[in-house]
Amino acid sequence: DAKTTQPPSMDCAEGRAANLPCNHSTISGNEYVYWYRQIHSQGPQYIIHGLKNNETNEMASLIITEDRKSSTLILPHATLRDTAVYYCIVRVAGGTASKLTFGTGTRLQVTL
Amino acid sequence: DAGITQSPRHKVTETGTPVTLRCHQTENHRYMYWYRQDPGHGLRLIHYSYGVKDTDKGEVSDGYSVSRSKTEDFLLTLESATSSQTSVYFCAISEQNQASYGYEQYFGPGTRLTVT
């Protein structure tokens, strides 16, 4: 699975959009980009994933560059409850098990 | 929320004793996983299962064994607990999403294990 690079921390004002970047320059054509987050002491929570098209769900939007070497997770109106560590993970779909390799992620702090 | 429970939620045990952690799911998902999380680290995969009686090792499997005798339960055993196994343990489940072709993982609440 491709390695990802994320900034260790970011701040965002409540109500503003939070844009979390991720670099995955060695991504292969059959690898998806997944985003998870972990709120303090809780189990990680799936947010969104995509292959090459931009994706949106009720939680967030995922923007993947045309060359697929980087992506951005967008939380359109961040709230205090979005304070968490966000993990960007790249992996192939399918296979015998969808093993995930977590890095250290980006710690997002949402402030008033 | 996905129906995943872990038991116990907290446990303190002594070095050298055996410990078994249980993960129970009500989603009938095929795949189940055990991760550990330590301060300053992301989650690291210990073992995973791709069906009843089908398991394989993850990146940090030494000192751990697993069993899955039925779809809903995945057990993690520390045969002889050591202080280095003090950690928070998370169970996860997944199944192929037919619409998105993804294998999103859903995590349990975690078990905090302290080995003294």
pLDDT tens profile B12-40: 999 999 999 999 999 999 999 999 999 87
Mean per-residue pLDDT, B59-78: 96
**Per-residue confidence (pLDDT) for residue A75, from 0 to 100:** 97
pLDDT tens profile A38-55: 998 899 999 999 999 899
State the greatest distance between any 2 C-alpha atoms of chain A, in Å, as a whole number.
44
- Residues in chain A within 8 Å Cβ distance of B33: 97, 99
Q: A44–B102: do the CB atoms touch at under 8 Å?
A: no
**Per-residue confidence (pLDDT) for residue B48, from 0 to 100:** 93
The closest alpha carbon to B51, from B1, B82, B95, B105, belongs to: B95
Q: A87–B102: do the CB atoms touch at under 8 Å?
A: no
Helix ranges, A15-92 (H): none
Indicate whether B2 pLDDT > 70.
no
| A99 at interface of B, judged by CB pairs closer than 8 A | yes
Q: Which residue in A has a C-alpha nearest to residue B104's C-alpha?
A: A46
**Per-residue confidence (pLDDT) for residue A94, from 0 to 100:** 61
Q: A99–B42: do the CB atoms touch at under 8 Å?
A: no
- Residues in chain B within 8 Å Cβ distance of A5: none
Share of chain A above pLDDT 90, in %: 75
User: pLDDT tens digits, chain A, 112 residues: what are they?
Assistant: 668 999 999 999 999 999 999 999 999 888 899 999 999 889 999 999 999 989 999 999 999 999 999 999 999 999 999 999 999 998 876 655 567 788 889 999 999 9
Task: Give me the residue label for tokens 């980087």.
Answer: A70
Q: Where are the beta strands (DSSP E) in chain B?
A: 4-7, 10-13, 19-25, 31-37, 43-51, 54-57, 64-70, 73-78, 87-94, 105-107, 111-115
pLDDT tens profile B77-111: 999 999 999 999 999 998 877 666 677 889 999 99
